[in-house]
Amino acid sequence: MFFLALLIAFVACNAPPVPLDDIVIEKTFVPDECVRAVKPGDFVRYHYHGTFPDNKKFDSSDCTLALKLCRQTHRPPPRIKHVAQGLASCAPSELQAVGIFTSILQAPLIGQLRGRLCVPLHYDRGSTYNVYVGKKQLIEGMDKGLVGACVNERRLVKIPPHMAYGKEGYVKSSTSSLRVQSEITDQLRLPRVGFASRRQSEGGGLQQTRNAGAGGACSDWPGREGEGRGDVIPPDSILHFDVLMVDIWNPEDKVQIQTYYKPENCSRTVQVSDFVRYHYNGTLLDGTLFDSSHTRLHTYDTYVGIGWLIAGMDQGLLGMCVGEKRIITVPPFLGYGENGDGSDIPGQASLVFDVVLLDFHNPKDSIAVENQIVPESCPRKSKSGDFMRYHYNGTLLDGTLFDSSYSRNRTYDTYIGKGYVIAGMDEGLLGVCIGERRRIIIPPHLAYGEEGTGTKIPGSAVLVFDVHIIDFHNPSDTVEIKTLFKPDDCKVQSKKGDFVKYHYNASLMDGTFIDSTHSYGKTYNVVLGSGQVVLGMEMGLEDMCVGEKRTLVIPPHLGYGERGVEGEVPGSAVLVFDIELVDMEEGLPEGYMFVWNSEVSDDLFTEMDKNKDGHVDSTEFSDYIHRQVSTGKGRLAPGYDAYRIIDNMFSNQDRNGDGKITAEEFKLKDQETKEHDEL
């Protein structure tokens, strides 16, 4: 039964063809999406394989694309090898007609049979066949059979003789392609976009032929000389064309734009002369990839509308927003024309670009400032020469983060207007308030230019900085003092040397808390002018009354400088102190650590020498000074340790350092030739 079925198949495949009244179209593959279908007047690019009904090939479009329909699998089982030649000439539809596919052979066996036994599809041209449809540049049957075909559709077109080469048939000369001799029109030239014409070596003229999409055959096609090689199309021949539609366009086409993503915020779109950075995948209309910027890991960077791109892309990029994604379909006369690019893009090819726009600017752009949040109080705005501390997030125009001060947990500190930062930031940071937030958009010619910098900022990139101004100052600044409250009775004011007690709340300019005496439940006590606090605080505490309240703004060069205080005060930080003077004690005259409140005894040394041994030791000296202070006769410098002051006074009087003071060594302050911090 098995061999009987194969014999039936062999006979069926070699039976005489049934005459046709019209073309017959069998669609062997239809894509899920038909991006475009052929209409009369369209220009098409297609591959084809031309055979007679007995499956003998007479022509094909490309020798390099072998086995387009047949799969090379394993050699068929030996028991069916003897029917190979019979099945070799069977088209798929003919095999199905005799039930081979569905009732006799199992699927794996079918693959093995067809992989070795069907006729391989060698396309003879080395390229697609390119021609207008419906303009009598093809035989009538092909003109009709191609209409309605989708890109990537494969169809078998069966053409009766009267719609092909008729009763005359065709005989190929040694120097020409297949043509209908009676239909050569010497004077009619095809448009430049057509490829249906052939140059004739005999006459040298450009002649039009109504072809089926058929030319010479491959010289290496197997078979006997003169048979199955496309040299002859006999009279009244039915022709079968297995067609794969590759491309369709029309001379009336324009650039087609399909936007499939557009950001909600689109404040600016691409205009002529803008410089753009975009990624793309470039394919032919059948989906064949010919180029991609993604594979190079680099955007395509170019001007738009000034001829740096093919005309179709110049048009297709106009009106795009940053972040927008669109598919741009470019007909060949707005692409690479009839010659292609000489490499991956064939002549007369429609091009499809899947584009995402990352960035664009214009060479005339300056910086742009957006999204400003300005504090209600702005007593001062930054100017050139100021030193600024600010936080920032730096991104590309598409939102890609390239740097952030927040990630380092410290501000970026720099002078502005002096070229320490890129020109766009120098400009964008002028005129800001402390506490202000703003977005600064900087074109590349005011940033890192064509070269970019590092690995994260590409060349010609627009940069976006979202900045928060923490503080700024000028090296010429002094302490800023603002009196919040002052008592009516303010006759006694603090001065250098006074011992003052005060409360404070300390913060940075952005309000960040640093410290407060209220947290400790006690005042901060210092002697003014002694260097116990930063210079700015010294200056801010002078000339205050007890009960007075002030706000001090202290620049870093009068505060904690460039280094700050680790873990507490950032380097180069402007400080804000809210202070209240709680108490103060008048200091001693400069250079004195002890003064008398009454007349000094004429016999001071004798009074100190309590045991009358002719010298004063440290104990006698200390006891005496403490008695004077306790009785109100004398006063030590306030704010210092009394014992340390007294020890210092004793050392100054003990000239020879023997641990005791003699009458000859002892002298009062006004008796000294040099000043000492002593009596």
Q: Which domains does the chain have, with CATH numbers?
A: 2-249 (3.10.50.40), 256-361 (3.10.50.40), 368-473 (3.10.50.40), 480-585 (3.10.50.40), 594-671 (1.10.238.10)
Q: What is the mean pLDDT of residues 467-480?
A: 97
pLDDT the model gives residue 633: 87
Tell which residue, 468, 478, 469, 495, has the closest CA to residue 559: 478
Buried b vs exposed e over 562-582: b needs ≥16 C-beta within 10 Å? eebeeeebbbbbbbbbbbbbb
Q: Return d(Cα 452, Cα 510) in angstroms, integer.
A: 33
Catalytic annotation, pick one of 231, 341, 403, 466: 403
> Is residue 127 classed as helix, strand or coil in its secondary structure?
coil
Tell which residue, 585, 579, 679, has the closest CA to residue 640: 585
pLDDT the model gives residue 108: 38
Q: Is residue 592 very low, low, confident or very high in pLDDT (cuts 50, 70, 90)? A: confident
Q: What is the pLDDT of residues 93-137, one digit of tens each?
A: 434 333 333 333 333 333 333 333 333 344 445 589 999 999 999
For the question of residue 560 being annotated catalytic, the response is no
pLDDT the model gives residue 14: 52
Catalytic annotation, pick one of 448, 560, 605, 621: 448
Catalytic annotation, pick one of 241, 412, 465, 577: 465
Q: What is the pLDDT of residues 353-366, one digit of tens each?
A: 999 999 999 999 99
Other CB atoms within 10 Å distance of the CB of residue 305:
17
Catalytic annotation, pick one of 241, 278, 280, 392: 392
Q: Is residue 233 very low, low, confident or very high in pLDDT (cuts 50, 70, 90)? A: very high
Q: What is the mean pLDDT of residues 26-54?
A: 96
As a whole-number percent, the residues of the chain with pLDDT over 70 amount to 77
* DSSP string for residues in 454-502: TTTB-TT--EEEEEEEEEEE-TT---EEEEEE--S---S---TT-EEEE
For the question of residue 403 being annotated catalytic, the response is yes
The answer to whether residues 24 and 182 touch, using CB atoms and an 8 Å cutoff, is no
Task: Output 156 or 653, whichever has higher pLDDT.
Answer: 156
For the question of residue 402 being annotated catalytic, the response is yes
Q: Return d(Cα 179, Cα 202) in angstroms, integer.
A: 15
The answer to whether residues 361 and 462 touch, using CB atoms and an 8 Å cutoff, is yes
Q: What six digits make up the tokens of 508?
A: 């940075």
pLDDT the model gives residue 217: 37
Q: Is residue 16 very low, low, confident or very high in pLDDT (cuts 50, 70, 90)? A: low
**657-664: long-range contacts at Cβ-Cβ below 8 A with a sequence spacing of 24 or more?**
659/617, 659/618, 660/615, 660/616, 660/617, 661/608, 661/615, 661/616, 661/617, 661/621, 662/614, 662/615, 663/605, 663/614
Q: What is the mean pLDDT of residues 156-185?
A: 69
Q: What are the Cα distances from residue 422, in Å, to 321, 390, 444?
A: 26, 15, 10
Q: Is residue 325 very low, low, confident or very high in pLDDT (cuts 50, 70, 90)? A: very high
Q: What is the mean pLDDT of residues 428-454?
A: 97
pLDDT the model gives residue 654: 85
> Could you tell me which residues are beta bridge partners of residue 46?
129, 245
Q: Phi/psi of residue 505, each to 5°?
A: -120, 125
Other CB atoms within 10 Å distance of the CB of residue 34:
13
Q: Return d(Cα 145, Cα 151) in angstroms, integer.
A: 14
Other CB atoms within 10 Å distance of the CB of residue 603:
8
For the question of residue 360 being annotated catalytic, the response is no
Q: What is the pLDDT of residues 178-228, one digit of tens each?
A: 433 233 333 323 232 222 333 333 323 323 344 555 443 333 333 333 333
pLDDT the model gives residue 598: 82
Other CB atoms within 10 Å distance of the CB of residue 298:
12
Catalytic annotation, pick one of 159, 422, 434, 440: 422
pLDDT the model gives residue 156: 98
Those residues with Cβ within 8 angstroms of residue 112's Cβ, 6 or more apart along the chain or in another chain: 73, 74, 75, 76, 77
Q: Is residue 84 very low, low, confident or very high in pLDDT (cuts 50, 70, 90)? A: very low
pLDDT at 246 over 80: yes
Those residues with Cβ within 8 angstroms of residue 512's Cβ, 6 or more apart along the chain or in another chain: none
Q: Is residue 6 very low, low, confident or very high in pLDDT (cuts 50, 70, 90)? A: low
pLDDT at 441 over 60: yes
The torsion angle over the Cα atoms of residues 34, 40, 45 and 51, rounded to 10 degrees, is 100
For the question of residue 448 being annotated catalytic, the response is yes
pLDDT the model gives residue 119: 37
Q: Return d(Cα 248, Cα 151) in angstroms, integer.
A: 7
Q: What is the mean pLDDT of residues 241-262?
A: 97
Q: What six digits make up the tokens of 615?
A: 């010298």
Catalytic annotation, pick one of 387, 402, 412, 577: 402
Q: Return d(Cα 279, Cα 358) in angstroms, integer.
A: 7
Tell which residue, 499, 493, 491, 492, has the closest CA to residue 588: 499
pLDDT the model gives residue 212: 53
Per-chain mean pLDDT for the chain: 82
